[in-house]
Amino acid sequence: MNDLHGGLIIPIAVTGMIVSFILTRQEKIRSALLILFLCTCLVIPLNALMTSWRDRGIIRLTYQRFSPFEEFSTYIHPQTDSRVYISPQIYLRDRMLSQDDSSAQEVFNLYFRTNLPISQISGKPFTLESLQSSRFDYAFLQVNDWMGLELPQQQVLLNQYKEMISEDGKVVFLIKNSR
């Protein structure tokens, strides 16, 4: 609708006002058309400005949602057999990444331009056992998932993974030691 509004309706309306202004002889009608024309000229840039603000907000939210992928992208090189874990707590607490298996697969494949099947990407609630037994190549945990583990449990994972914490301190990224 916005393209139709800006590309067709507004130019026709402005042209109609200008033609009416030129052809009309009555002073009251000319004054009303002039005021209408000036108001229209004020609304057009305001509409463009509002669209720009909305688009900036969408871009900011998109960047925020994918920021853990962006921050750790130099360490992530998906192969056809890669396995990825994304804690749903990251989404629930910080509105980043994904909230379940299906959206975890979608956001990972979209961002890294890969096509991993849903069987290789998990967005199930975090448990130490699932992270150990599933042999993930990459794992994204919400920092509270990580801090909720006792030190011996963290050490067990650190024997399998290298740990990195995001700059904002919200996400713990684990990468399998063998990579």
The maximal CA–CA distance of the chain, rounded, in angstroms, is 90
Determine the pLDDT at residue 59: 65
Rounded mean pLDDT, 13-34: 74
Q: Is 113 left (phi over 0), alpha (psi -120 to 50) or beta?
A: left
Nearest to 90 by CA among 107, 112, 78: 107
pTM to 2 decimals? Answer: 0.65
Nearest to 92 by CA among 163, 171, 166, 157: 171
Ordered DSSP codes for 59-95: HHHHHHHHHHHHHHGGG----TT--EEE-HHHHHHH-
Give bridge partners of residue 163 from the DSSP assignment: 174
In the predicted model, is pLDDT for residue 129 greater than 90?
Answer: no
13 compared with 169, residue with greater pLDDT: 169
**d(C-alpha 97, C-alpha 173), whole Å:** 13
Residue 20 is inside which H or E element, if any?
helix 10-23
**Per-residue pLDDT tens for 159-178?**
889 999 999 889 999 998 86
Q: Determine what percent of the chain falls in helix, strand and coil, rounding each to the nearest 5.
A: 65, 10, 25
**d(C-alpha 123, C-alpha 105), whole Å:** 8
Residues in the chain: 179
